[in-house]
């Protein structure tokens, strides 16, 4: 959910229900109202009459029923450095070891490499970070534009810098901004001191964070405040003060990260080893304190969503792309960052080779807000977020994404057109001429598997289509169909040939398309060489069957064969040799 920067995992029943929720306003059947209300509280859908407000939620992000924490087959998040420059010198900086050596040699080519590596990884979310993106807003803007088409975006910042310069790009691409603020007391400056190379004001970290928070709230930019929990701010009263300050300002999302022993934090912790004080890691009681904060916040119904993360036991659960474009994770058995691959070595087909280096369980646990120390002695299934999906949901019945096709010979074309008009169908322009060419391997593998590879010319335009196997329901069938605009005809034919595909059949027809406004049902009137006219109905199964009954008087028996099979059968019955039947053409 981009507006709250929260991941949710859904069980199969809930996921099927989520897919049924329309992007358009629609009336909700009475039996579905409780489920829709539960989704609206999380911001997954909107309602009116009544208007259900999005609420705070501080629990694990599991919708439905889960008995165990799932792992993930691909990363959920990848962190992308747009710069190694930073106006602060945070004492616990996790990425300090990925910045110092690169600061003086940052180039535009590096930014291209960061974007290329990020787009190669099939993560749902890219976090644009550094350093601090506000120190180099032009680079941050370029990276936002390069990644926005592929991923949801989050921008991490201290708030110190020119956030106004980035606001247009943040709003255009719906970027969620996370502003770092550890305390509202002066202790914040001790945790997040300024880097004198960039800025002189000692209070810059607090002032900059406040300014960025207020600006995002005023401009409607989705916002989270994030706090790193260390031994310096392990104080529930300090946390309460910060929480109340955030609520009063209108902040609705807050993340508390227990410090990770990486980068600068690792060096501090190692230098303090054996000493009575001086370490940066909080005490073992920190989890109990955090739970007290979360529990009292929920009991008081405060309007803020709190998440807590801890990756110190699983440091290799986070992916980092350095400012040169190389991919890293924090080592588990190795101290410091582990380079998974360098720029130029990565290939999408080798992505699975990364997984031995990444803790998939820890990755899912971190981003799905599962903190076992919060729920000592309780099973996961008892604390999942319940979505009361009705056993026979009308929304699911209405939202079946699989299209059904049914084909009928037309007994009287003139009467069919009148009947379509009487039932509210309107023609979409004039009939279009189509020429389809079908491709297969010399061994005819596509035909054996019931796949279709088709090149279509329609009124001068060219498109390539792939159809999956047919799944029959009685006399009707469903199949997945993908179609893409094609470029130069010569180039497309050459590409198909290079992949071992040859023309096995061609077919021409003239098609007139009819639709009823506001519905998905399509009626296509096809004129086929030598065979005459056929009507194809395509849409939800119930709608297809209803229209078939309404047009019964002007249609012949439903035909299960496709046009190629019909035409071949017709020519063979007329005595044509099989080897001479290569396709159907009006000429």
DSSP 282-341: PPTTHHHHHHHHHHHHHHTT-S-EEEEEE-SS-GGG--EE-TTS-EEEE-SSSSSEEEEE
Helix, strand, or coil here: 25? Answer: coil
Q: Indicate whether 400 pLDDT > 70.
A: no
CA–CA dist 371, 368 (Å, integer): 9
User: Are 132 and 160 in contact, with CB atoms under 8 Å apart?
Assistant: yes
- First-to-last C-alpha distance (Å) of the chain: 56
Q: Indicate whether 386 pLDDT > 70.
A: yes
Q: Indicate whether 345 pLDDT > 70.
A: no
User: For all residues of the chain together, what is the average pLDDT?
Assistant: 86
CA–CA dist 208, 163 (Å, integer): 10
pTM, whole model, 2 decimals?
A: 0.68
CA–CA dist 258, 349 (Å, integer): 35
Q: What is the pLDDT of residues 247-276, one digit of tens each?
A: 999 999 999 998 876 556 556 655 656 565
CA–CA dist 395, 461 (Å, integer): 37
User: Are 536 and 527 in contact, with CB atoms under 8 Å apart?
Assistant: no
User: Are 559 and 570 in contact, with CB atoms under 8 Å apart?
Assistant: no
Give the model's confidence band at 236: pLDDT under 50 very low, under 70 low, under 90 confident, else very high: very high
Helix, strand, or coil here: 79? Answer: strand
CA–CA dist 587, 583 (Å, integer): 11
Task: Determine how many CB atoms are found less than 10 A away from the CB of residue 14.
Answer: 23
What is residue 97's predicted lDDT score, i.e. its pLDDT?
64
Q: Which residues, 6+ apart, have CB-to-CB distance to 405 below 8 Å? A: 476, 477, 478, 479, 536, 537, 538, 544
CA–CA dist 180, 246 (Å, integer): 12
Which tokens sit at 418?
């009148």
Q: Indicate whether 312 pLDDT > 70.
A: no
Residue 63 is classified by DSSP as: E
CA-angle at 422, arms to 418 and 426, nearest 5°: 80
CA–CA dist 91, 214 (Å, integer): 25
Helix, strand, or coil here: 174? Answer: coil
Higher pLDDT, 488 or 176: 176
Share of the chain above pLDDT 90, in %: 45
Which tokens sit at 582?
């290569």
Tell me which H or E stretch contains 229. Answer: strand 223-229
Residue 197 is classified by DSSP as: T
User: What does each C-alpha distance from 232 to 211, 239, 260, 435 come to in angstroms?
Assistant: 24, 12, 14, 73
Q: Which residues, 6+ apart, have CB-to-CB distance to 490 below 8 Å? A: none
Residue the block writes with tokens 């029943």: 13
Q: Which residues, 6+ apart, have CB-to-CB distance to 436 below 8 Å? A: 454, 455, 456, 457, 506, 507, 508, 509
For the ranges 323-327, 453-457, 485-489, the one whose mean pLDDT is highest = 453-457
CA–CA dist 482, 502 (Å, integer): 20
In this structure, the strands spanning 327-330 and 502-515 are: unpaired
Dihedral, 395, 401, 407, 410 alpha carbons, nearest 10:
60
Q: What is the pLDDT of residues 550-562, one digit of tens each?
A: 999 999 999 988 8
Q: Indicate whether 546 pLDDT > 80.
A: yes
CA–CA dist 310, 362 (Å, integer): 9
Mean pLDDT value across residues 36-50 = 93
CA–CA dist 78, 147 (Å, integer): 11
CA-angle at 367, arms to 364 and 372, nearest 5°: 75
CA–CA dist 159, 522 (Å, integer): 52
Mean pLDDT value across residues 192-211 = 86
Angle between helices 108-120 and 137-147 (to 10 degrees): 30
Give the model's confidence band at 163: pLDDT under 50 very low, under 70 low, under 90 confident, else very high: very high
Phi, psi values for residue 214, rounded to 5°:
-65, -40
Q: Which of 280-289, 314-323, 412-421 has the lowest mean pLDDT?
A: 314-323
CA–CA dist 215, 134 (Å, integer): 14
User: Are 498 and 423 in contact, with CB atoms under 8 Å apart?
Assistant: no
Share of the chain above pLDDT 70, in %: 88
**Nearest CA among 188, 310, 308 for reference residue 245:** 188
**Nearest CA among 209, 233, 17, 191 for reference residue 91:** 191
């Amino acid at each position: 959910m981009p507006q709250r920067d929260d991941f949710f995992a859904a069980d199969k029943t809930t996921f099927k229900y989520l897919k049924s929720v329309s992007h358009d306003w629609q009336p909700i059947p009475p039996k579905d109202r409780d489920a829709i209300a539960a989704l609206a509280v999380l911001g997954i859908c909107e309602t009116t009459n009544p208007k259900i407000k999005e609420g705070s939620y501080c629990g694990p992000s599991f919708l439905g029923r889960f008995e165990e924490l799932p792992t993930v087959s691909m990363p959920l998040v990848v962190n992308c450095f747009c710069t190694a420059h930073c106006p602060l010198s945070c004492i616990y900086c996790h990425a300090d070891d990925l910045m110092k050596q690169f600061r003086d040699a940052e180039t535009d080519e590096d930014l291209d490499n960061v974007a290329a590596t990020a787009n190669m990884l099939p993560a749902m979310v890219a976090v644009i970070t550094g350093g601090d993106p506000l120190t180099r807003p032009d680079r941050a803007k370029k990276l936002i534009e390069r990644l926005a088409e592929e991923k949801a975006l989050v921008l991490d910042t201290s708030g110190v810098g020119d956030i106004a310069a980035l606001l247009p790009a943040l709003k255009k691409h719906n970027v969620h901004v996370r502003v770092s603020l550890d305390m509202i007391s002066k202790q914040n400056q001790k945790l997040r001191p300024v880097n004198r190379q960039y800025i002189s004001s000692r209070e810059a970290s607090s002032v900059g964070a406040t300014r960025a928070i207020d600006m995002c709230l005023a401009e409607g930019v989705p916002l989270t405040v994030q706090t790193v929990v260390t031994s310096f701010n392990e104080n529930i009263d300090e946390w309460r003060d910060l929480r109340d300050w955030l609520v009063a300002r209108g902040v609705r999302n807050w993340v508390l990260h227990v410090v990770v022993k990486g980068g600068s934090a690792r060096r501090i912790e190692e230098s303090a080893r054996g000493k009575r004080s001086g370490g940066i890691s909080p005490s073992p009681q920190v989890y109990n304190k955090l739970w007290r904060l979360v529990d009292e916040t929920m009991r008081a119904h405060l309007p803020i969503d709190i998440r807590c993360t801890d990756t110190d036991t699983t440091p290799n659960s986070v992916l980092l792309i350095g400012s040169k474009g190389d991919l890293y994770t924090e080592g588990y058995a190795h101290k410091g960052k582990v380079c998974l691959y360098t720029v130029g070595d990565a290939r999408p087909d080798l992505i699975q080779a990364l997984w031995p280096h990444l803790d998939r369980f820890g990755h899912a646990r971190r981003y799905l807000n599962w903190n076992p120390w919060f729920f000592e002695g309780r099973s996961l299934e008892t604390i999942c977020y319940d979505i009361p999906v009705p056993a026979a949901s009308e929304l699911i019945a209405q939202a079946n994404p699989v299209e059904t096709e049914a084909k009928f010979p037309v007994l009287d074309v003139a009467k069919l057109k009148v009947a379509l008009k009487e039932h509210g169908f309107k023609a979409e322009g004039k009939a279009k001429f189509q020429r389809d060419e079908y491709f297969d391997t010399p061994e005819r593998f596509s035909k054996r598997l019931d796949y279709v590879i088709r090149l279509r010319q329609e009124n001068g335009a060219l498109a390539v289509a792939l159809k999956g196997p047919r799944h029959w329901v009685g006399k009707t069938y469903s199949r997945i169909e993908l179609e893409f605009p094609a470029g130069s005809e010569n180039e497309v034919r050459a590409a198909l040939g290079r992949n071992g595909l040859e023309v096995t059949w061609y077919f021409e027809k003239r098609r007139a398309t009819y639709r009823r406004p506001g519905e998905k049902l399509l009626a296509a009137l096809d004129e086929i060489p030598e065979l005459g006219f056929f009507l194809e109905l395509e849409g939800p199964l119930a709608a297809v069957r209803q229209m078939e009954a309404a047009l019964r008087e002007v249609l012949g028996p439903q035909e299960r064969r496709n046009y190629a099979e019909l035409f071949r059968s017709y020519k063979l019955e007329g005595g044509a040799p099989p080897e001479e039947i290569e396709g159907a053409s009006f000429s």
